[in-house]
Amino acid sequence: MRSLPAGVQRWTTKHVVGMCGVGKFKVRWGYDTSAACPCCGEFKDHLHVPRCRAPSASAEWDRQTVALDLWLDTQVTDPAIKHALLSLLKGVCDPSLPSIRMVPGGLSSAFRSQQRIGYQGLLEGRLSRQWAPLQEEYLQSRGSQRSPTLWASRLSHQLILLGFQLWEHRNSVQHSEDNVQLQERSQQVNDGIHNQFDMGPTDLPKVVQRMLSVKRRTVLNKPLVDREEWLKLVRMERTAYRRALAPQRRILHRFFHPADHSP
């Protein structure tokens, strides 16, 4: 754990206890109004991050598990152990997938031990102690002098990094236009812009009317923050202008429709 970057160590600690910057806690802490996952829109706690089935999240999961598969080969991992570990990893996304029938009898005890620790525990680097002796037997059968203890330690780090990379992917989506929440917000802003253009420059001060003299598409192509500011300003000015004209309109109404105001 100490050999991992400081940021990864902090991330691991937060995720082990489940209190981190996911939707559930961002809402609780007042940093956000929605607990929805930026990738798929479903409720998000720390367990959802590796389980998210949005296309981009699934693709990232596949990339990371393939990378782990290759890494296990470079570490001369027993093929049966590799198969068992990769099968257990599938349980992170779907607990019904891993089955004891998938592994040889000699690995069944280690397999069950890891299941008791929990599938999510793999992404926290919590390996069963039974894996290292099994890997040692395999290394000895090949006449290898590699250390099974070092193998287990490095594997633990790789599993933590796998989970961390999934978190990094989630963050990249959180701050991109692929964010489901931002897409909904963007659509709402665009609807508001269309509405303002449809109403036209009426009820707007002349200085603000110029904001509607540009092509509608020009405004819609602006970044979300700029569109929000444009819409906020036009709405505010239209409301203020209408309020300012209200007394004049009441006077004109009394003048042209005196019967409506007779005692």
Over residues 144-174, the pLDDT tens digits come to 999 999 999 999 999 999 999 999 998 888 7
Domain end position, chosen among 178, 200, 220: 178
Closest CA to 224 of 260, 261, 188: 188
Q: What is the pLDDT of residue 17?
A: 84
Closest CA to 205 of 241, 243, 257: 241
Domain end position, chosen among 146, 178, 210: 178
pTM above 0.75, yes or no: no
Q: What is the pLDDT of residue 245?
A: 61
Structure tokens at 198: 């449809």
Same structural domain for residues 13 and 115? yes
pLDDT in tens, 89-147: 999 988 888 787 778 889 999 999 999 999 999 999 999 999 999 999 999 999 999 99
Residue 11 makes CB contacts below 8 A (sequence gap 6+) with 20, 164, 167
**Contact predicate 164/11, CB 8 Å:** yes
Q: What is the pLDDT of residue 101?
A: 79
pLDDT in tens, 2-57: 788 888 999 888 888 888 888 888 888 888 878 888 888 888 788 888 988 889 99
**Residue 16 structural domain:** 6-178
Whether 1 is covered by a domain: the verdict is no
Same structural domain for residues 166 and 41? yes
Same structural domain for residues 220 and 255? yes
Rg (CA), the chain: 30
